[in-house]
Structure 1
Amino acid sequence: MNFFQNYSTASAQNKSETKSHIKPWVEKYRPKTIDDISSQEQAVAVLKKALQSNNLPHLLFYGPPGTGKTSTILALAQELYGPKFAKSRTLELNASDERGINIVREKIKNFSRSTLTASDTDSKYPNPPYKIIILDEADSMTKDAQSALRRTMEAYSKTTRFCIICNYVSRIIEPITSRCAKFRFKPLPVADLTSRLEMICNKENVTLANGTMNALIKASNGDLRKAITFLQSGANLHKTESVTVGTINEMAGLIPDDTMQNIIKKLESGNTNDIEELAQDLMNAGYSGELLVYQLHDVISRNEFLNLTSLQQSKISQILGTADFHLIRGADEHIQILNVLLQLGLIISE
């Protein structure tokens, strides 16, 4: 009997270790409590008070990707209901996939209607008399779906709290934003990114070559989720070796410095044919339009390779900002990059 008990225990432990080993590091190291959230002091302070009073308003979290919006509300749910009931009392929907009005009418309303019973609580946790619905990427919802959501929020406010999560708060209709406590999640500072990545490196026995940490931070641009994903991919690729700067830059799709210098030279020449050929070469090489715009902005703002006036920098920033907006909304990359390079060529070669 003891043999089978020991075998069963060992087998369970092995399975647990295997699951932990294959789990994405983004999930493995996701904050488990409110105190684990990095750099979002305002949201953390308000949510801690809500934990003490059980008086949680509807929430609207907005800001760049990978700054802890979803992790914050999931950590809050864990502290409100405990691990046993957090899943049953929390409904998480990705509005970019399920963004139509029928989702609001069916899934959200059905979850909101269900009542709580005494057996759905754990005495060790606050267990307020409401459930939480998390709508991730809500800025992808149609206007009709958002209007239906607003009515649902009104009808079920006694039994349900909504957490609206988005990147662009301007795409959420005013009747929803006025009903929520709004929190802007800012990109994580370098110090916080570094400390979190170092912690993961220590726990996973990952070594980084000189300059790799800086490359991770630059490639992620304040997005901790992206930085952790690059780190795990690099660790899987190098196994027992140190993760190198080149590996991170290649995975991130960053344009090499020598290529950026070549771009600047061709822009300085102002030759339209050269610039058109350059745009085609960049697209053929598979570089991301958004990353190219970001790196061009970085070069222009630092003004290292060029001697631009403030007016020229301002004009270029406006062009890059417009292109970034169009690319995010799904515009054709080749046309946008060609347009950007031609306009920059005119300004730089003046």
Structure 2
Amino acid sequence: MPEKNTYPVQLLQPDGRRVWDRVHTPLIADVDADRLRAMYSDMVVARRIDTEATALQRQGQLGLWPPLLGQEAAQIGSAHALHADDYVFCSYREAGVAHCRGVPPEDLTRLWRGVAHSCWDADAVKMTNPAIVVGAQGLHATGYAYAAHLEGAEIATIAYFGDGATSQGDIAEALGFAASWSAPVVFFCQNNQWAISAPVRVQSATPIARRALGYGIPGVQVDGNDVLAVLAVTRQALQHARAGAGPSFIEAITYRMGPHTTADDPTRYRTDAELELWRGRDPIDRLRRLLERERLWDSAFEHDVDERAAAVAARLRAATLTMPDPQPTELFDHVYATPHRLIAEESREYAAYLEGAGR
């Protein structure tokens, strides 16, 4: 893992032309036509999931949704670098990563509809549920990674967070602990330029990846809209962790083309010109141009991808609209891993209150 780089790693230009990089190009030498098409398909599906969930929220079917529009390459490229037994600690925006980890569309909106404490079974897919507390997952990932190291597990752990989370003490503490104890964790920052309405320039006066160097952690910047570059640097970082070399930090330079959440209005703090600039760097269009250049694109493939995306969206919508409302006392389920006397007592008291209130 290189200690620093002065510019973002890029292997694919916006016009679809490849870039040769003596360090990182060999890391994707095995990426053949099928893998390129698979990543493209996953990116389109991730965007369709996002579009459908956003529409459901606008229609009053979800309480909230955190869009990932524009960040598909950062999520899909990094997810394709993971092994099945690696463990993912996400923030609240990684629906694309969840899709790649095997989370069914039916489970993606349970939390956001307000019918459950979580969306999916974390152990089944080796990925935690959305973390609403900004930055908390960095500490969770570091602790898990260190525990796995003590048990001799040859896995890597990855923590996703945004540029705004780097201003939280939790991330600073996680970096310090990971560096001191050589925890095999990859810190993956999706720098989407905005922490709600605060631009990245007020989050850090220096490139965020350089801040990792102050902890003794190697950091790298990557073009986060370049799925091949993201795949390469994430593979490099994960191998660094599995080899027992300690933590590393990736700053994926990308852009949130939608709102922070569906409760946000980005037109109040950013310009149309800025949005148009980043639309020209659209990660899905970039990979499509590569497929066209290398004669891997045809109408049959396009049709298959569209059909797959539509099927996933239909499953997500149908499941969301038919999710049953939970019983009120389910609020106390899964608070602890094992039965807890205080929680059981509170559950009984609440049930008695509801009965007395005629509910």
Whether these two folds match at TM > 0.5 is no
Normalising by structure 2, report the TM-score: 0.32
Relative contact order higher in (CA < 8 Å, ≥ 6 apart): 2
Report the structure number with the largest CA radius of gyration.
1
Larger fraction in helix: 1
